[in-house]
């Protein structure tokens, strides 16, 4: 590339200009500041020198005359991310270190638009792949400023054994670059940056936890075998936490105090081994909120960050004036969701794993802060089976090469320990079988004869308090309708055909009835599986339609939850519905359950559940555990150092988008009017979240054909209130001329 004399050396090279006050950030200042931050971020996984090089080169294209004219106001385009990648690659190639040059080029070229696919040698200079961009013609830039040339590239110390490991390292290095770039730019525009920090260090948090559990561990407070076992579990956690970093399992049934026990292990281990933070990864948002609330009571709300789809840091309560400033704590949490710089983070499987396989800068930004962390995978058996092998391989990579300790915390033994390569997990709980026996609260009973929906409703009507969980939303509506005709008082329906606002109201009414021990009002609930995890309900009797054993055990957790009755009085009936065929996805779980039920008498015993998962994984086969071929695609790319970052990121969705959202806003005219006025802001869509219903596309199309939906545009569908019932939701059943007919 040639030196250009179009700019006078009396004119500074500019990285950013503040439109508010005309302040200028020089290009050397931005590059050096970004490089130093990136180096600091990458030190935990020995990538500091490479991160510094990426930082110093990421905006090197801004040394072009064309970019400098653009930033000074000319209406022209200028690609400033490609030149730095090209330059470092060519420097590395001349030193016979082309692979390292490509590694840095991925990060530098992707720092705005995201990591590209690698492509192939046949790509032209118009392709958006790495190979295409290495050939792309860009504006000449000034190479006379030798003090900014990068040092020779040295291989990273992080071991890279295969293509997946190489791609993982690139993504982690990319994370250090984009977070450093964002933070340095933020500091310039915000005159110092947004409010960050303000939380306690890990050692202080451990002191708070130890003070909290001291009352449990004192001998004079331990009464009965259950308390003895819970205390033993806490002591197990404190003892095993002294072990070196690695992979652990924590098998502790519902009621054993698993949440506090896992936090005890995490904080003690973090202090002993210099871990920077604790990250809880949870399958459902409802569990996230419960766990986070429990942690906040122990270590303080200011030290716990929730990050999931229900969090609304960028919207105000409707009673707030829109000009009311955010509190200092709100601001810290608002910005910390971007890069996870908190001591305790509670997040979802979706946020965690989709970030690890992302390509966009915004999602990748937080990845480097996962290094040197304690990772607690709560209900680890809930990792979606189609992504099981990529997810467990990512956990293995974090433990072996990025200083993490991972804990698979489950109420049931899940057979995941077979999927971590050479890592051998260590069990934290010494008395898991004793805990199971003491905490066995229910009796599972198989109903031998198939039931019709009519006979099922009749059986439910014989109970004053009963929960029935069926496999489909249509079945829930049909059984509820028939039960409601027999016993309308105290009969409730729960499913995702109802918007969250109304489900929450009904759940609160159900809880009020169940906790009213004086009046003992009737409470009969027909629900889909949405109540099986993270919903604290306690029924004396539960009916569960035949499903996978994991679902049956989860349903049993809603029976005798408070242990106020004997197991013999607390029956979970497993039934089949006459003529009902399970869906393809569900059938595999049911088949595995049936195979195990023939071999084991105690269906809820830990060894039975372990055998169930082994059988399920075997039945599905290896290919079904990596449905999108994520591992082979990365490993096959190693020879040419060509990785499908963008393609995998677009396909890696733990929850497949087979549904469409509709909005039921008859009670929120203010929000409806904002939609009708054309507003489409993120803040607005978060505000209407509690009034959103996700339906299968076929159901949405049927509603449209029946005139029950109003389309404001392609993505905004309103349901008039006359077609919706707050206690029932969207009807999927034939009903006169205003229903979906199948």
Q: Could you tell me the pTM of the whole model?
A: 0.89
Are both 465 and 429 inside the same structural domain? no
The tokens describing 158, both together, are: 């992080």
Sequence-distant (≥ 6) Cβ neighbours of residue 348 within 8 angstroms: 281, 282, 283, 284, 285, 288, 307, 308, 309
Neighbours of 735 (CB within 10 A): 11
Question: Is the per-residue pLDDT at 450 higher than 50?
Answer: yes
Question: Is the per-residue pLDDT at 4 higher than 50?
Answer: no
Are both 573 and 518 inside the same structural domain? yes
* pLDDT for position 7: 47
By three-state DSSP, how is residue 318 classified? coil
Are both 116 and 21 inside the same structural domain? yes
Distance, in Å, from the CA atom of 168 to the CA atom of 578, rounded to the nearest integer, reads: 49
Strand pairing report for 373-378 and 277-282: parallel
> Which residues are registered as beta bridge partners of 251?
410
Are both 425 and 484 inside the same structural domain? no
Position 6 confidence tier, pLDDT thresholds 50, 70, 90: very low
* pLDDT for position 194: 64
Position 317 confidence tier, pLDDT thresholds 50, 70, 90: very low
Tell me the mean pLDDT in the region 123-128: 89
- Final residue in a domain of this structure, among 583, 603, 623: 603
Tell me the mean pLDDT in the region 676-695: 89
Question: Is the per-residue pLDDT at 70 higher than 90?
Answer: yes
Strand pairing report for 465-469 and 443-446: unpaired
* pLDDT for position 322: 38
CATH code of the domain containing 64:
1.10.3210
- Expressed as residue numbers, the domain containing 96 is 14-189
* 611 lies in some domain: no
Are both 532 and 671 inside the same structural domain? no
> Which residues are registered as beta bridge partners of 141?
64
Q: Which residue has the higher pLDDT, 413 or 274?
A: 274
Position 147 confidence tier, pLDDT thresholds 50, 70, 90: low
* 6 lies in some domain: no
Are both 157 and 220 inside the same structural domain? no
Q: Which residue has the higher pLDDT, 6 or 239?
A: 239
- Final residue in a domain of this structure, among 386, 418, 437: 437
* 737 lies in some domain: no
Are both 166 and 226 inside the same structural domain? no
* 301 lies in some domain: yes
* pLDDT for position 1: 36
Number of domains in the chain: 4
CATH code of the domain containing 588:
3.40.50.300
* 654 lies in some domain: no
Are both 331 and 365 inside the same structural domain? yes
Share of the chain above pLDDT 90, in %: 65
* pLDDT for position 100: 93
**CA angle, 673 then 676 then 677, to 5°:** 85
Average pLDDT of the chain to the nearest whole number? 88
* 664 lies in some domain: yes
- Final residue in a domain of this structure, among 566, 587, 603: 603
Question: Is the per-residue pLDDT at 734 higher than 60?
Answer: no
**DSSP per-residue letters across 174-201:** HHHHHHHHHHHHHHHHTTS-S-------
State how far the alpha carbon of 226 is from the alpha carbons of 220, 233, 434, in Å.
14, 11, 9
* Max CA distance (Å), the chain: 90
Are both 551 and 502 inside the same structural domain? yes
* 639 lies in some domain: no
Position 143 confidence tier, pLDDT thresholds 50, 70, 90: low
* pLDDT for position 327: 62
* pLDDT for position 220: 54
* pLDDT for position 182: 94
Are both 178 and 215 inside the same structural domain? no
Are both 403 and 493 inside the same structural domain? no
CB 152 within 8 A of CB 53: no
* 381 lies in some domain: yes
CB 176 within 8 A of CB 184: no
Question: Is the per-residue pLDDT at 737 higher than 50?
Answer: no
* pLDDT for position 712: 92
Are both 409 and 515 inside the same structural domain? no
pLDDT tens, residue by residue, 319-357: 333 334 556 666 777 778 889 999 999 999 999 999 999
Strands (E), 265-340: 277-282, 304-307
Point out the least confidently predicted range of 160-174, 223-237, 253-267, 408-422.
223-237
């Amino acid at each position: 590339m040639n030196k250009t004399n179009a700019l006078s050396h009396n004119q500074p090279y500019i990285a950013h200009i503040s439109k508010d006050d005309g302040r200028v950030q020089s290009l050397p200042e931005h590059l050096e500041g970004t490089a130093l931050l990136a180096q600091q971020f990458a030190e935990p996984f020995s990538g500091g020198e490479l991160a510094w090089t990426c930082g110093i080169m990421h905006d090197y294209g801004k040394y072009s005359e064309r970019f400098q004219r653009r930033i000074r106001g000319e209406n022209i385009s200028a690609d400033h991310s490609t030149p730095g990648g090209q330059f470092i690659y060519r420097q590395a190639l001349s030193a016979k270190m082309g692979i390292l040059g490509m590694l840095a080029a991925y990060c530098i070229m992707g720092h705005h638009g995201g990591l590209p696919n690698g492509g192939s040698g046949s790509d032209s200079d118009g392709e958006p792949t790495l190979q295409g961009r290495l050939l792309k013609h860009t504006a000449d830039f000034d190479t006379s400023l030798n003090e900014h040339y990068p040092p020779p590239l040295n291989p990273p110390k992080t071991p890279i054994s295969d293509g997946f490991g190489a791609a993982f390292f690139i993504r982690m290095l990319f994370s250090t670059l984009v977070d450093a770039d964002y933070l340095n730019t933020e500091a310039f525009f915000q005159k110092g940056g947004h409010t960050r920090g303000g939380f306690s260090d890990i050692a202080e948090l451990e002191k708070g936890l130890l003070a909290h559990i001291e009352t449990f561990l004192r001998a004079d407070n331990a009464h009965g075998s259950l308390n003895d076992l819970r205390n033993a579990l806490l002591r197990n956690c404190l003892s095993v936490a002294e072990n070196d970093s690695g992979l652990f399992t924590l098998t502790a049934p519902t009621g054993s105090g698993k949440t506090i026990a896992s936090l005890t292990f995490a904080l003690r281990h973090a202090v002993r081994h210099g871990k920077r933070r604790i990250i809880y990864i949870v399958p459902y948002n409802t569990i996230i909120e419960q766990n986070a609330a429990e942690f906040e009571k122990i270590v303080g709300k200011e030290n716990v960050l929730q990050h999931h789809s229900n969090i609304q840091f960028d919207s105000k309560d409707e009673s707030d004036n829109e000009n009311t400033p955010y509190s200092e704590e709100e601001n810290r949490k608002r910005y910390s969701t971007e890069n996870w710089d908190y001591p305790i983070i509670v997040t979802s499987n979706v946020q965690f794993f989709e970030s690890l396989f992302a390509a966009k800068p915004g999602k990748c930004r937080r990845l480097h802060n996962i290094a040197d962390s304690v990772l607690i995978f709560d209900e680890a058996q809930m990792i979606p089976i189609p992504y099981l092998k990529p997810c467990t391989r990512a956990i293995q990579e974090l433990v072996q090469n990025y200083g993490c300790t991972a804990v698979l915390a489950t109420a049931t033994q899940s057979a995941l320990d077979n999927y971590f390569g050479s890592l051998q997990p260590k069990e934290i709980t010494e008395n898991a079988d004793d805990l199971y026996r003491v905490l066995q609260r229910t009796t599972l009973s198989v109903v031998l004869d198939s039931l019709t929906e009519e006979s099922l409703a009749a059986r439910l009507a014989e109970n004053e308090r009963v929960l029935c969980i069926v496999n489909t939303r249509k079945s829930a509506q049909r059984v509820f309708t028939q039960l409601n005709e027999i016993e309308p008082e105290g009969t409730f329906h729960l499913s995702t055909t109802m918007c969250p606002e109304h489900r929450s109201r009904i759940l609160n009414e159900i809880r009020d009835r169940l906790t009213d021990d004086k009046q003992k009002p009737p409470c009969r609930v027909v629900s889909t599986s949405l109540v099986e995890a993270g919903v604290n309900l306690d029924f004396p009797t539960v009916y569960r339609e035949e499903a996978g054993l994991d679902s049956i055990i989860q349903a049993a957790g809603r029976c005798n939850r408070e242990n106020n009755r004997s197991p013999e009085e607390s029956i979970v009936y497993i039934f089949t519905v006459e003529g009902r065929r399970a869906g393809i996805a569900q059938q595999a779980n049911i088949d595995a359950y049936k195979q195990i039920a023939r071999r084991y008498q105690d269906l809820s015993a830990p060894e039975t559940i372990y055998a169930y998962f082994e059988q399920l994984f075997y039945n599905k086969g290896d290919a079904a555990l990596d449905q999108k071929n994520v591992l082979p695609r990365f490993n096959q790319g190693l020879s040419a150092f060509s990785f499908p970052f963008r393609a995998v990121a677009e396909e890696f969705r733990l929850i497949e988008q087979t549904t469409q959202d509709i909005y039921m806003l008859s009670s929120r005219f203010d929000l409806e009017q904002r939609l009708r006025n054309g507003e489409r802001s993120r803040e607005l869509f978060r505000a209407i979240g509690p009034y959103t219903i996700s339906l299968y596309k076929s159901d949405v199309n049927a509603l449209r054909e029946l005139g029950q939906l109003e389309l404001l545009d392609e993505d905004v569908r309103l349901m008039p209130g006359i077609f919706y019932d707050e206690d029932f939701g969207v009807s999927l059943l034939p009903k006169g001329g205003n229903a979906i007919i199948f």
